[in-house]
A and B are shown apart, each in its own frame.
Chain A
């Protein structure tokens, strides 16, 4: 009996309150998104709101079951859970059912489950368990490598299901690693990669190259290289360019300025290394390596984009970056979504009064674009409130994570917060045109049993761990 009293006392009721509030608001908006006059009973399970109500009930039940499980269980069974999940991800590739081009669903007796949603939970457990091990050293290659394997295995399997959106979530674990001591350089590289990625797609390749060169030389100056030395570098590149250009002219080859400039850089690579060594320019070696690394990165982005991405993914990314803007084509969703949200104004049009949503302008209204309904019917006030509720939940989770005594619980808590944050950022970002259209759900809001259950499990396992926090002595 005592344990139960303790459990209730130690549970974080703030989080539970926010969870219930968000689930409730989500359901209201699903109701509005699919509302029509003919089906007015909220229990009508032929309608999505009726089904969601069932799933919410099941989610509450799941939450209670999780709270009754001993907290140590989760840490002990982290790896078996993870392995089972990997097995399911493979199985779905073979036996799964294809919906909208993605083979990521199991169908059991009319209910469809999406293992990718639950894989986030399993991976979060496994990575927490791994990092919290005594012999984990963040700077050791082996530790980082195994972390990478734990994170990328499910991601790759999910990409194979053609559900690139759900796979991207695993990127967010870099923040968890950062919290646990990953060098800030990793974050810097991450940001650099994102910037390069965008400019590679936005600009002609020659400009990208020039920008990288310009940045390289400017940063050389900033880290204390003398003007003369920078000048020598620039001159060397120019001479190389002139030489290659001359050869190309003589041999009547058809090469672009971009290729010639690349050849010039390649020619200068060894001389630069030698020069840096001779002049003892310790920091310049990093600049050189980062610049060359960036070049290779932009090559691979171009290659990846042209050859690996599906055409609809290319279009969506292009559209986000303002390339080939076509409001009736790939950009249609986002354009309609922005209109719906924008038309909400300050206070919104009121419950069930959204015209954009009613006339089905916005596709995937109750799943990926549920935020449109919020924006249209509840206006700036409502959408900001929803953002703040979600944000409060996430920050509350950070706070709870920080008060854990066990590293496992702390890391897991960070994992939960980061996953929720990534979903929030991408999902809301895409509806307001700030992120690419990647079909991932808004936590607790979007229609769908799998995602609701997965987020519920994710959250309540952490609450269970948190309720146990006092058992472990510092």
Chain B
């Protein structure tokens, strides 16, 4: 039949030959070659994660704000557990036997073969003693981690804190393992990826006594950890600490920005907390305490989450918009008969001479003047209707960074709001009148603005018409990298030529002689420009607001101080602004102003002990 029948031997031979080669190879791999094999008692390997050092954080002058300290986690692999002296072990760790039993049960629940944390963050003393005796307790080993250390106990809101990752975060980012830490707020959160670096792994052979027998395959499969990038914050920590001191026992916030760059020099939310409280084993306890038991909400960042009406500081923007639209000129004068009167409507004003021009109106914060300015703007015939006028006005206002998130490099930021035309149409009627929104003229009513946005507004005024998005990081890593969005100028819709009269008025607020509302902000030899604000509060004392920048030529600092229940702008806002400016520009407070400093430090608004009035007329 088939001529080629004999070829079955060749084909079968090839098959058998290949399998024989495989068997010889297996014999070689599994029995002869020791590099792939371990002796019977030496049969377990351990992967030890190498935790990278998290990046350090410095202030703008190179002062260290955050560094790392070593911590030791005691890990457990339930599979490797053996009988051991529990009494001795508990003594070594300073724990109860019940805790030990619970801990082992918990680790078993997590995984029988994988390591999990048995005891977090041993002190280095305890670690030293334990390390000696660890061989007696198979299944346990120590993993080194780093914790944050805050040498200056300052700027907690800005720096943020680290927290153990949640299961949800582990599931969404494969980088994380149980027990890892992640930045939860502030810089730590925003720059998490840059700061954290990259984990490495070292693989060891360990024997049944859990002693390391050496590197696995000469470290061929090890991976070095890559340290996180260091980062320079734009904060001036001296200024920051001084601000925190001034704000003690007061509720409110301070934001100081360098107008030429948008860098945040100081960012104080008061009352704050000590960042050290969020490190180590006490963290959870402290956190619970602050969230549940502290009515002053120290975790609440008042500089970016608190929405306030701006008060009279908003008159600056109203003046600028009116100048841009040409509805007034700097020399336009308006009458003020102790307030603004229109039909049945009256908006009160304090006693001052009349009529005033724009500069004087800013200096003396005349309500009637700005009520007129606002009405003239909205009712200007060139818009055709109040509604169109308002829409145009709102566009100008928004160009100062209001009504939306600025994009600060700190995650938690509120957008605030500037009401829309539709809002008033719903509230009143389709063709509502300028008087319906007249409280916007003096920064009251429906406006919601964060202190960060107020500071940004001052920076824009100081720059005569543009700002950079405020940011708290100056640069990341060795090449000082910074996101391009922080290097871009944002122009307001008001031309730079219109700023001069407003700035003139602001300078007069501080040093214009009679009628000035913010004289306590004055600094010797420096031309400070400012504006007071007093925000009406229905059931509590009014809020005290002050915005300022200095020096007038080539501004170095723009600042807002917002003190809740501070009664009026000149009382706390102005003096604190003046002290901050002096501290930043001169480094120290002149002797002649020590009395103001002392008064501010002693004022305690939280326990309702108001400082005596400095006796200056607003």
A interface residues with partner B (beta carbon < 8 Å): 36-37, 175, 178-181, 327-328, 335, 338-339, 341-346, 349, 355, 358-359, 375, 379-380, 383-384, 387-388, 390-391, 394-395, 398, 402, 414, 417-418, 421, 424-425, 428-429, 432-434, 474
Q: Contact: A342 with B37, CB < 8 Å? A: yes
Residues of A within 8 A of B47 (CB): 359
Main secondary structure of the interface of B (DSSP, over half): helix
> Is B484 an interface residue when CB atoms closer than 8 A count as contact?
no
Q: Taking CB as reference atom, which chain B residue is nearest A175? A: B11
> Is B245 an interface residue when CB atoms closer than 8 A count as contact?
no
Residues of B within 8 A of A341 (CB): 26, 29-30, 36
Measured CA separation A454–B391 after assembly (Å): 71
Q: Contact: A383 with B4, CB < 8 Å? A: no
13 additional contacts, CB 8 Å, given A355-B44, A358-B113, A391-B19?
A: A178-B11, A179-B4, A341-B26, A342-B29, A343-B43, A344-B30, A345-B37, A355-B45, A391-B15, A424-B18, A424-B19, A428-B22, A432-B25
- Number of B residues near A (Cβ < 8 Å) is 40
Residues of B within 8 A of A359 (CB): 45, 47
Query: When the two chains form the complex, which single residue of A179, A339, A428 contacts B217, counting CB atoms closer than 8 Å?
Result: A339
Q: Contact: B112 with A37, CB < 8 Å? A: yes
Measured CA separation A123–B220 after assembly (Å): 45
Q: Contact: B36 with A434, CB < 8 Å? A: no
Measured CA separation A384–B12 after assembly (Å): 18
> Is B33 an interface residue when CB atoms closer than 8 A count as contact?
yes
Q: Contact: A395 with B7, CB < 8 Å? A: no
Q: Give me 7 A-to-B residue pairs in the complex whose CB atoms sit less than 8 angstroms apart, sorted by A's number.
A: A36-B111, A342-B29, A342-B35, A344-B30, A398-B15, A421-B18, A424-B18
Residues of B within 8 A of A335 (CB): 220-221
Measured CA separation A358–B43 after assembly (Å): 14
B interface residues with partner A (beta carbon < 8 Å): 1, 3-5, 7-8, 10-12, 14-16, 18-19, 21-23, 25-27, 29-31, 33, 35-38, 40, 43-45, 47, 111-113, 217, 220-221, 223
Q: Taking CB as reference atom, which chain B residue is nearest A182? A: B4
Q: Contact: B15 with A380, CB < 8 Å? A: no
Q: Which of B15, B30, B112 has the largest number of chain A CB atoms within 10 A? A: B30
Q: Taking CB as reference atom, which chain A residue is nearest B3? A: A181
Residues of B within 8 A of A355 (CB): 43-45
Residues of A within 8 A of B221 (CB): 327-328, 335
Smallest beta-carbon distance A114→chain B, Å:
26
Smallest beta-carbon distance A338→chain B, Å:
6
Measured CA separation A379–B31 after assembly (Å): 9
Q: Contact: B4 with A345, CB < 8 Å? A: no
Q: Contact: A178 with B37, CB < 8 Å? A: no
Q: Contact: B16 with A395, CB < 8 Å? A: yes
Residues of B within 8 A of A383 (CB): 26, 30
Smallest beta-carbon distance B77→chain A, Å:
11
Smallest beta-carbon distance A310→chain B, Å:
25
Query: When the two chains form the complex, which single residue of B11, B22, B113, B220 contacts A398, counting CB atoms closer than 8 Å?
Result: B11
Query: When the two chains form the complex, which single residue of A175, A384, A418 contacts B26, counting CB atoms closer than 8 Å?
Result: A384
Residues of B within 8 A of A36 (CB): 111
Residues of A within 8 A of B22 (CB): 387, 428-429, 432, 434
Q: Contact: B30 with A342, CB < 8 Å? A: yes
Residues of A within 8 A of B37 (CB): 342-345
Query: When the two chains form the complex, which single residue of A180, A398, A418 contacts B4, counting CB atoms closer than 8 Å?
Result: A180
Residues of A within 8 A of B43 (CB): 343, 349, 355
- A327-B220, A391-B19 are known contacts. Are A175 and B29 too (CB-CB below 8 A)? no
- A339-B36, A383-B26 are known contacts. Are A402 and B8 too (CB-CB below 8 A)? yes
Q: Taking CB as reference atom, which chain B residue is nearest A380? A: B30
Residues of A within 8 A of B40 (CB): 345
Q: Contact: B31 with A346, CB < 8 Å? A: yes
Measured CA separation A339–B36 after assembly (Å): 5
Smallest beta-carbon distance A169→chain B, Å:
15
Measured CA separation A402–B7 after assembly (Å): 11
